[in-house]
Amino acid sequence: MVRTPCCEKMGLKKGPWTREEDRILINYINSYGHENWRALPRLAGLLRCGKSCRLRWTNYLKPDIKRGNFSREEEQIIIELHAALGNRWSAIAARLPGRTDNEIKNVWHTHLKKRVNEPEKLRGVSDFQQKTSRLKEEDVESLPSSSEINHGGHGQTSYSQLNSPQHSYSEISSIVTIDKCDFQAVKKIQEADEDFWSEIFSSETTCDFTTMERGYNSSMHDDMQFWFSVLTRGEELSEFRATK
């Protein structure tokens, strides 16, 4: 059976999505839903094929997507489910709320496969873990006690979060990277992203980043909370070191 191509290649755009395209897609789906992916780009005024729109929505734009690093628990679940189900990424994703099959597939290929297939390398990993935990201990030792820093209501933003054994290796590496780099630069990048996401959130929720930064917004995603805590604590750390 000869199938028609999923989209006419004529004039249809490929490659990375622009913010404007994302905005158009989000606005359209928020208003009209996505009953017919094939017709959607034409109706929304996008020069994309329906497949591309569906992928962009399900893997990136859908509001319930949990963004950010996988926790140790999530990684363990993926390893166990992969052992049971094989490469059935959508079935695995169905048991990890907020995670997409594409994301899980990527994590498997980049991190978990190596861990499962090359146990001899675990020694190296545990060496790395020792180094990073040492590094964090040093940082904690050089830090002011909780009584020296007035959190002003940060609540969960404590070093215990950074030291939590729940964090995956990928998270640990992120923490180490953050610790080494210039927090102001990182924050600028974060702010640039916030501009985009806050525009999106503002169209459908009452999410307020000023409130979120205070740690009061209960609807904040865990990873966002994590990044805010890293950034906030990083600045506190830099300030504290500067005053020492």
The gap between the terminal CA atoms of the chain, to the nearest Å, is 74
- For the bound state, the minimum distance from the C-beta of residue 194 to DNA, rounded and expressed in Å, comes to 16
- For the bound state, the minimum distance from the C-beta of residue 105 to DNA, rounded and expressed in Å, comes to 6
- For the bound state, the minimum distance from the C-beta of residue 86 to DNA, rounded and expressed in Å, comes to 8
- For the bound state, the minimum distance from the C-beta of residue 163 to DNA, rounded and expressed in Å, comes to 21
Q: Which is nearer to DNA, 2 or 242 (CB)?
A: 2
Q: Which is nearer to DNA, 14 or 241 (CB)?
A: 14
- For the bound state, the minimum distance from the C-beta of residue 11 to DNA, rounded and expressed in Å, comes to 13
The number of residues in the chain equals 244
For residues 72 and 168, the answer to whether their CB atoms sit within 8 Å is yes
Q: Which is nearer to DNA, 52 or 157 (CB)?
A: 52
Q: Which is nearer to DNA, 25 or 154 (CB)?
A: 25
Q: Which is nearer to DNA, 13 or 151 (CB)?
A: 13
Strand partners, 71: 167
Q: What is the helix (H) or strand (E) element at residue 70, kind and residue range?
A: none
Map tokens 């500067």 to a residue: 242
Tokens of 155: 């609540």
What does the binding site for DNA look like in residue numbers (CB under 7 A)?
1, 3-4, 6, 13-17, 35-39, 48, 50-52, 54-56, 59-60, 87-91, 101-103, 105-107, 109-111, 170, 177
Residue 15 neighbours by CB distance under 10 Å: 6
* Residues 6+ positions from 235 with CB-CB distance below 8 Å: 183, 184, 187
Rounded CA separation 165/235 (Å): 23
